[in-house]
Amino acid sequence: MGKGRLVVVSNRLPLGPNPSGGLVVALRDAFDEAGGIWVGTSGRQSETPKTRFDSHPGLPFDRLSFDLTKTEYEHYYLGYSNSVLWPLFHGRADLMETRSRFLADYRAVNARLAQMLAGVVHRDDVIWVQDYHLLPLAQALRATGVSNRIGFFLHIPFPALYDIMALPNSEEFIGWLAAYDLVGLQARRDVARLLEAFRSRPDVELMPDGSAKLGEQRVEARSFPIGIDAAAFAREAAKAFEVQPRVPLEPGERLIIGVDRLDYSKGIPNRFKAFRRLLEVHPELNGLVSLLQIAPPTREEVAAYQDIRSELEQLSGQINGAYADLTWTPIRYIHRAVPRARLAGLYRQAAVGLVTPLADGMNLVAKEYVAAQNTEDPGVLVLSDFAGAAEQMEDALLVNPFDLDQVAEALARALKMPKGERRARHEALMEGLLTQDITWWSRKYLAALRGVPRGLE
Ligand code: GDG
């Protein structure tokens, strides 16, 4: 008997004739093997929401998209997903904006999606739901009678128990998770926090095999750290470095690079302050090091994102005002997206990759920076302990992003690190990236999902 098809559900459907995002690369093999369908929002808003089905000869999956109404976009996407769950899961309950209509539409969109899916799934399909926008989907699917294997992968950190208590609907939240057969998390510490949340509930039974039982539901929780297509990215960076424009530097000057969606979880203000601390404590480096920060805008309709933007504009202005001279600008801050190939070349040019999130599910920038290096003369990754990536990337210089002195000293150490040590660290990191790459991630997850015992089988 062949494998059942794969049904992937994500908030945004990969669009266009040749979508190239990380998840598309991750799932290409799996779709090639089993065929299937990808379901997600169209990115369009309409008051009479439409669904569209399309099948493209170059793609190994069919696509089913659906529109949101303007109100649904505001309540389900900007509201409950990005003004409640995102801040909470990143340890920022203080930034939560809770409104009962956000939650009502979050449930409603998931219920509508479940109805739509129930009409297209076949009996032996496996369903893989991606990320925090769709937490209630399994429960909603079960309510329509779907008994297929349903897995979930959370791309962002799993919250601590005290943060979950701040959710207006924390009881319901645990029920959402328990309706899956497999909950995949980025890091081991996320699994520990999920088990802690289960343990806190008298109605959840933790089983000897590590799974948890809520009523008739049985769910497994395991970590599957997401990777990148490291070999392809390394090739892309080597090529880009030759053909793409570089940052003009003074003789002897070296570059530190930061790349993040402009999000308060990414620790960009801390990063700027740590860089200022470096210039303060190491005057010998003034004029010889500069920070390139690329931070494209994201979720600009949400107030917390407007605040972080003005904070950064102020900080970079202050630091440049205090330190710049005629030939040296300490911080280049670019609030725009840079094309991917150019980004790859810039990573390779930079002597240090500085990744300092205060909370992050994985952080792919850390992995891209390492993959982009010249193996003969690689740069050094300075990485926050609070990124999921820190569990795998122990050969980076790991730092506490809240401790500005420590980050500044790690930067100084990175800038002075002898080539032998840089090469040894890079080699170890690169080996990890090549072994646990993006295809490894999706294969491992899907093998686990297909292997989960279900019902009376
Ligand atoms: C979520 C989780 C988890 C950024 N600026 C530009 C640009 N980027 C690309 C990077 C990288 C991606 O965006 C960002 O990925 P991250 O992993 O760093 O962060 P999130 O967007 O928050 O992703 C995260 C991830 O899901 C996967 O599971 O690792 O923890 O938060 O690929 O290169 N790309 C281009 N121009 C830019 O200006 N082309």
Q: Is residue 327 situated within a structural domain?
A: yes
**The pLDDT value given to residue 1:** 43
Q: Are 352 and 241 found together in one domain?
A: yes
Q: Is residue 72 situated within a structural domain?
A: yes
* Active site (annotated) includes residue 209: no
CA 210 to chain centre: 26
226 lines ligand 1 (CB under 6 A): yes
393 lines ligand 1 (CB under 6 A): no
Place of tokens 């999706």: 442
Q: Which residues of 136-153 are buried (b: 16+ CB within 10 A; e: fewer)?
A: bbbbbbbeeebebbbbbb
**The pLDDT value given to residue 2:** 59
Q: Is residue 386 situated within a structural domain?
A: yes
Q: Are 213 and 266 found together in one domain?
A: no
Local structure of residue 169 (DSSP, 8 states): T
SS3 39: strand
Q: Are 152 and 204 found together in one domain?
A: yes
The angle at the Cα of 268, spanning 262 to 271, to the nearest 5 degrees, equals: 160
Residue nearest to atom 38 of ligand 1 (CA): 337
296 lines ligand 1 (CB under 6 A): yes
Residue 148 belongs to domain with CATH number: 3.40.50.2000
Answer left, alpha or beta for residue 306, where phi above 0 means left and psi between -120 and 50 means alpha.
Answer: alpha
Q: What is the dihedral of CA 146, 143, 141, 178, to 10 degrees?
A: -100
Residue nearest to atom 4 of ligand 1 (CA): 260
Q: Are 119 and 150 found together in one domain?
A: yes
Q: Are 219 and 261 found together in one domain?
A: no
Q: Is residue 126 situated within a structural domain?
A: yes
Q: Are 273 and 408 found together in one domain?
A: yes
**CA–CA separation, 385 vs 401, rounded Å?**
8
The token duo for 297 is 């805008």
Q: Which residues of 241-264 are buried (b: 16+ CB within 10 A; e: fewer)?
A: beebeeeeeeeebbbbbbbbbbbb
The token duo for 39 is 């379901």
Q: 332 forms bridges with which residues in the sheet?
A: 292
The token duo for 334 is 């670019």
Instruction: Write out the H or E segment, with its range, that includes residue 215.
Output: none
**The pLDDT value given to residue 58:** 86
| Alpha-carbon distances, residue 191 vs 182, 184, 388 (angstroms) | 12, 8, 12
Helices marked H in 244-339 — which ranges?
268-281, 303-323
Would the pTM count as exceeding 0.90?
yes
Q: Are 222 and 243 found together in one domain?
A: no
In 3D space, the residue among 273, 303, 249 whose CA is nearest the CA of residue 403 turns out to be 273
Q: Is residue 119 situated within a structural domain?
A: yes
The token duo for 24 is 């598309």
On whether the CB atoms of residues 37 and 450 are closer than 8 A, the answer is: no
CA of 13 to the centre of ligand 1 (A): 17
CA of 33 to the centre of ligand 1 (A): 27
SS3 294: strand
In 3D space, the residue among 32, 27, 6, 2 whose CA is nearest the CA of residue 121 turns out to be 6
**The pLDDT value given to residue 405:** 98
Q: Is residue 457 situated within a structural domain?
A: no
Q: Are 46 and 101 found together in one domain?
A: yes
Backbone angles phi, psi at 67, to 5 degrees: -90, 160
* Given the residues 155, 181, 229, 437, the one annotated as active site: 155
CA of 161 to the centre of ligand 1 (A): 27
In 3D space, the residue among 453, 302, 430, 449 whose CA is nearest the CA of residue 367 turns out to be 430
**Residue-number span of the structural domain to which 377 is assigned:** 230-435
Q: Are 272 and 329 found together in one domain?
A: yes
Q: Are 185 and 251 found together in one domain?
A: no
* Given the residues 263, 360, 395, 437, the one annotated as active site: 360
- Ligand 1: nearest atom to the Cα of 340: 39
Backbone angles phi, psi at 57, to 5 degrees: -60, -30
The count of structural domains within the chain is 2
**CA–CA separation, 330 vs 286, rounded Å?**
8
Q: Are 262 and 175 found together in one domain?
A: no
Q: Is residue 31 situated within a structural domain?
A: yes
**The pLDDT value given to residue 456:** 40
187 lines ligand 1 (CB under 6 A): no
Q: Is residue 204 situated within a structural domain?
A: yes
| Alpha-carbon distances, residue 156 vs 132, 207, 294 (angstroms) | 8, 26, 21
* Active site (annotated) includes residue 56: no
Residue nearest to atom 35 of ligand 1 (CA): 340
On whether the CB atoms of residues 6 and 35 are closer than 8 A, the answer is: yes
Name residues whose C-beta falls within 8 Å of residue 272's C-beta, 6 or more positions apart in sequence. Answer: 291, 293, 312, 315, 316, 319, 331
The angle at the Cα of 289, spanning 288 to 290, to the nearest 5 degrees, equals: 135
Q: Are 295 and 443 found together in one domain?
A: no
Residue nearest to atom 27 of ligand 1 (CA): 155
Residue 376, Cβ density class (10 Å: 0-12 exposed, 13-18 middle, ≥19 buried): exposed
pLDDT in tens, the chain (457 residues): 457 899 999 999 998 888 878 899 889 988 999 899 999 999 999 998 889 999 988 899 999 999 999 999 999 999 999 999 999 999 999 999 999 999 999 999 999 999 999 999 999 999 999 999 999 999 999 999 999 999 999 999 999 999 999 998 999 999 999 999 999 999 999 999 999 999 999 999 999 888 999 998 999 999 999 999 999 999 999 999 999 889 999 999 999 999 999 999 999 999 999 999 999 999 999 999 999 999 999 999 998 999 999 999 999 999 999 999 999 999 999 999 999 999 999 999 999 999 999 999 999 999 999 999 999 999 999 999 999 999 999 999 999 999 999 999 999 999 999 999 999 999 999 999 999 999 999 999 999 999 998 754 4
